[in-house]
Amino acid sequence: MIGIAGNQTLFGPIDPFEKRRTTEVTFKGKLNLPIHRWYRLTPSFSPKLATDIAIHFGLTPEDYVLDPFSGVGTVPLCMKYEGIPACSIELNPYLHFVSTVKTRSYSNLSGITNGFEEFISSVAVEAEGLEDQAKAYEYLAANVRYVPPIHRPERWWSPVNLAQLVAIRKLMLRDNRSGYESDLLRMGILGVLIPTSNAKHNHVSLTFADEPAPAMNVLGMLREKLDEISRDLEAVRDRPVSDVKVYAGNSRSVSRVLPDELKVSAVITSPPYPNRFSYARETRPHLFFFDFVAGAQEVGQLETEAIGGTWGAATSSLSKGVEPANDLVRGLISPYTKDINGSGELMASYVTKYFNNIYEHVQSIEQVCRDNARLAYVIGNSKFYGHPLPSDEILAGIFAHFGFVLEGISKMRRRQSKSGLYEAVVFMRRG
């Protein structure tokens, strides 16, 4: 482990968080786990990592855990089944929906399963024959108002697959179901948008394939997804749980999002890495499919408000230049931004905005932590034009300014082999 400014920091004789397998750190560790697997978000982290941190901290039902960057709800879901009360915060309305649906407790499982079967049957009638391309075009022309209002939907889905999705969306928007059953149905539908699309998970971010996806049996894929949801709910039916809640809001102002009386004894989280990954861009199809946003302007606003946002509308603010929020941020980042700035001003502005936002976040986190609260921040370093940026050490430096004591930085795994990129967990305690 490397501490601030390259000093060695001893975490213990044997660090259980160093040199971990990929499945113990990344989203790959949840692909076969009930509920965790309902939606794939590549930059999310492994449930085992969240659970291991809770064990390392010695958390009990007397504690209260916060994840201010909820994503797909990994931390609150893990804490729920460990019997540890928890909450999380999420800015993106689609990801807030995912976290909320995954962390709920459900009863009447037979009723939920029957509802799934009824919906599948109704879609089968509506979508009959749509695997034929000519009929798919006819259906799309007759049901234009049910096409998801994303820009150029034909870029995302080939006509046959889009027609089947439009049939599903049409019946879902007309459905009179409400509450938990409706949300589980939507969860299943949203879970097949990318597998049926022209987008691929070849990189951390989605990319479009060179050729459109072939015609698929979208209804069959939805049936499998809903069956998976039913099986997963059955698998956890009798497990003891704790109370968890997901709040909608911006983690740059944690103290304004959480109830005034709420104080946490632990923070387990993974903020966005300073690597230009855009959660708004990544979730565009989902945001538009069930109207989580009103239009493209709202997506741009999401990106602008996100920590370090640098996609779409957020780019224009970066192009005007960004100054460090204060002398602390300036001192921590200037050794790195001066090199980055020599190669590209936009990226230097991006790094500056990112750590300005992190400063706001830490300032707000300090207000909700109990004395001696334990914190674990999972974060990756970055490179810009070949210039390294030790995000973990800069993060620890900002926390130190607010009285948090660094316990250690564990470098868990290398990213992209010889690139010099790594993922670390920064352990701290409120002094």
Q: What is the pLDDT of residues 228-237, one digit of tens each?
A: 999 999 999 9
Q: What is the pLDDT of residues 389-409, one digit of tens each?
A: 999 999 999 999 999 999 999
User: For 208, phi and psi rounded to 5 degrees?
Assistant: -90, 140
Per-residue pLDDT at 6 exceeds 80: no
How much is the pLDDT for 255?
Answer: 95
Q: What is the pLDDT of residues 314-326, one digit of tens each?
A: 777 787 889 999 9
User: For 421, phi and psi rounded to 5 degrees?
Assistant: -90, 145
Domain assignment of residue 118, yes or no: yes
**What is the strand order of the sheet 244-248 is part of?**
244-248, 86-90, 65-67, 264-269, 369-380, 421-430, 404-415
Q: Which tokens is 61 given?
A: 């039902």
Cα–Cα distances (Å) from 83 to 34, 44, 80, 188, 428, in that order, read 17, 22, 5, 27, 23
Q: Which tokens is 118 given?
A: 């009824």
Domain assignment of residue 102, yes or no: no
How much is the pLDDT for 340?
Answer: 86
Do 137 and 68 belong together in one domain?
no
Do 297 and 331 belong together in one domain?
yes
Least confident of 42-51, 60-69, 301-310: 301-310
Do 289 and 400 belong together in one domain?
yes
Domain assignment of residue 133, yes or no: yes
Domain assignment of residue 387, yes or no: yes
Q: Which tokens is 284 given?
A: 């565009």
Domain that holds residue 31: 4-94+248-430
Residue that finishes a domain, picked among 175, 201, 235:
235
Alpha helices in 87-214 (DSSP H): 93-103, 109-126, 133-142, 153-156, 159-174, 179-190
Residue 283: band (very low, low, confident or very high) from pLDDT cuts 50, 70, 90: very high
Do 196 and 218 belong together in one domain?
yes
- What does the mean pLDDT of the chain come to? 92
Q: Taking the model in full, what pTM does it have?
A: 0.93
Q: How buried is residue 258: exposed, middle or buried, by Cβ count under 10 Å (0-12/13-18/19+)? A: buried
Q: With beta carbons less than 8 A apart as the criterion, state whether 356 and 249 touch.
A: no
Q: How many separate domains does the chain show?
A: 2
Do 339 and 398 belong together in one domain?
yes
Do 138 and 261 belong together in one domain?
no
Domain assignment of residue 147, yes or no: yes
Do 18 and 122 belong together in one domain?
no
| CATH for 380 | 3.40.50.150
Q: How far apart are CA 288 and CA 307, in angstroms?
A: 22
Q: What is the pLDDT of residues 179-200, one digit of tens each?
A: 899 999 999 999 999 999 999 8
Q: How far apart are CA 49 and CA 87, in angstroms?
A: 17
